[in-house]
Structure 1
């Protein structure tokens, strides 16, 4: 590992970087016009970047060909206006590297790597996994802690060791554990250039107060300006306004509660996609075998979105 210092040639990905859903026309084809509308909707909402092929993008349920095509299409649509980060994780190092190369060729700005899943992996193997991918790409890399989906966490000690590598530029944490996040942000003492992004949107304001630098939040797909305005308030050190925006963000739970909350994340992606379809942004098809919202859920979502439009703005 190289000694830690502030790199001069690597970007710092900070602010509101939504984990965008993957608009699908059918199980292995993109809803291209929906992708274009989603990109423009988010950019107009003031987001600081896009994170594609994360958990919210159903990466584990998409074919490798579709993942690569999605990367190419989104990079083309964004056209360097804001940074594009690409989730590349696969249980196979070879496939992970292939997607990293596709991201590099498409013009993405960075890649995001979570832990492998299915087989148990110890922390030493996890470091080997990260280093194996790094050796095959020139793009800056963010770590991604998502234990609810992968059943494995990056230990803080592992993150501290990996932080010695200049090419690793930050971490996104979706553990919902604010104490773990606070321990991560102490790494600013060795990597002041690092990005610390929170996934759980109800913790956004608290995470920024704890030293975080931005959010990768599902609700940004629906109300990008709300999240962007909270970030502006943070940059202006307006704590009262931050609290106000966080209270509005917390109201998005009403949308998520329409989903089956007994299962982690996937039903929330489903209601988010259906809400986007109600807003006229993109289709709400889920990758097979996952099911979207029922007719009754769609009706409730329509009513809830109308209510939120009047209460949030």
Structure 2
């Protein structure tokens, strides 16, 4: 990547026809939808993309099809998180050959790693990559968090170019920004969209926000308002973001409710099928009706075909 990445980078959902069949038509619709909304890049095979639930064959197909559809209009980031460094490298090679711009890696998520083991893992990984690397902090899923000093040490390698934090811990994120305050070339992104605007006003470069799959322009507008320091506009748009978070992501009582709600909303909008990879299931008609009402209340529901 020739320029530092900044802005809104949706962690793209993976449109599916079943657990091992990619919905290519849905993928095309979704990518065009987020591009039209003004996003600054696309991240596939992350948490929202159900990356760990997909077969290597399907991951490979998604990478190649996403790159083909994007056709270099935006930077393409590819998740390569895996319990095996060998498999991470293998997936990164697919991304490189397909024309992706960077890869994203969370720590191996079965055995708990110490900070020194994290450093060693990433020093070994980065030397085997053809593409630049973003570190991905997701302690809820991986049982370990990057210490700020660990990030700084790993980032000494010139091919490590950014950091995405999905901890939801504002104090932690500020400590990372402080520890890396002399690295203007390094990108800092937050995952939780509820704190994106505040993080940008405090020095973050943008958000990797799931809601930008559904309402890309909302998140892009909020990012720009925060970047410009327009507090009135931030307050107005933040209220919409919180409405998305408190409704669409909180239907049902599943640990995956945010993902189930997101895919259901996208299917209502005609962008993809309401299909999740196993073991997760789509919402039934009762829960889908709640999502429909939430979209209507948000005044974003489109009546014309998309």
TM range (shorter): over 0.9
Counterpart pick for 1:64 among 30, 45, 56: 56
Counterpart pick for 2:103 among 96, 108, 111: 111
- The residue that corresponds to 2:225 in the other structure is 233
Q: TM-score when scaled to structure 2?
A: 0.95
Matched, 1:276 2:266: yes
Greater alpha carbon shift after TM alignment, 162-171 vs 30-39: 162-171
Matched, 1:135 2:127: yes
In structure 1, list runs of 5 or more residues that go unmatched. 1-8
Asked if 2 retains the 8 angstrom alpha-carbon contact of 1:146 and 1:173, the reply is yes
State how 1:1-313 maps to structure 2 within 5 Å: 10-252=2-244, 253-260=246-253, 263=255, 266-309=256-299
The alpha-carbon deviation at position 10 of structure 1 amounts to: 4.3
| Whole-angstrom distance in 2 between the partners of 1:146 and 1:123 | 15
Greater alpha carbon shift after TM alignment, 184-193 vs 39-48: 184-193
In structure 2, list runs of 5 or more residues that go unmatched. 302-306
| Whole-angstrom distance in 2 between the partners of 1:128 and 1:68 | 27
Asked if 2 retains the 8 angstrom alpha-carbon contact of 1:10 and 1:140, the reply is no
| CA RMSD, 1 decimal | 1.4
Asked if 2 retains the 8 angstrom alpha-carbon contact of 1:10 and 1:167, the reply is no
Asked if 2 retains the 8 angstrom alpha-carbon contact of 1:259 and 1:268, the reply is no
Q: How many residues align?
A: 300
Asked if 2 retains the 8 angstrom alpha-carbon contact of 1:16 and 1:214, the reply is yes
Q: TM-score when scaled to structure 1?
A: 0.93
Asked if 2 retains the 8 angstrom alpha-carbon contact of 1:204 and 1:246, the reply is no
Runs of 4+ in 1 over 4 A off after TM superposition: none
The alpha-carbon deviation at position 194 of structure 1 amounts to: 1.0
Greater alpha carbon shift after TM alignment, 234-243 vs 14-23: 234-243
Greater alpha carbon shift after TM alignment, 118-127 vs 94-103: 118-127
